[in-house]
Amino acid sequence: MGWQSNWYIGIRHDDIYWTPCPLFHLGAAGGMIGTLLSGASMSIAPQFSVSGFWPEMERSGATVVMLLSSTLNYIADEPDTEVSRRCYGKIRTIHGVPFSGHLQARWKERFGVKNAGAVGYGMTEACSITLADLEQPSPPGSSGRRHEDFDVEI
Q: What DSSP line would sit under 76-95, residue for residue? A: HHSPP-HHHHHTTTT--EEE
Torsion of CA 14, 7, 19, 13, to 10 degrees: -10
Give the model's pLDDT for residue 134: 57
Read off the pLDDT band of 43 (50, 70, 90). very high
Q: What is the mean pLDDT of residues 59-83?
A: 94
Torsion of CA 20, 25, 30, 31, to 10 degrees: 0
Q: What is the mean pLDDT of residues 95-103?
A: 83
Mean predicted lDDT score pLDDT of the chain: 86
Q: What's this model's pTM, rounded to 2 decimal places?
A: 0.85
The number of C-alpha atoms within 13 Å of 90 and in the hemisphere containing its C-beta is 19
Q: Is the pLDDT of residue 106 over 90?
A: yes
Q: Give the CA distances from residue 81 to residues 1, 85, 112, 121, 130, in Å, rounded to whole numbers and listed in that order.
A: 36, 6, 15, 33, 37
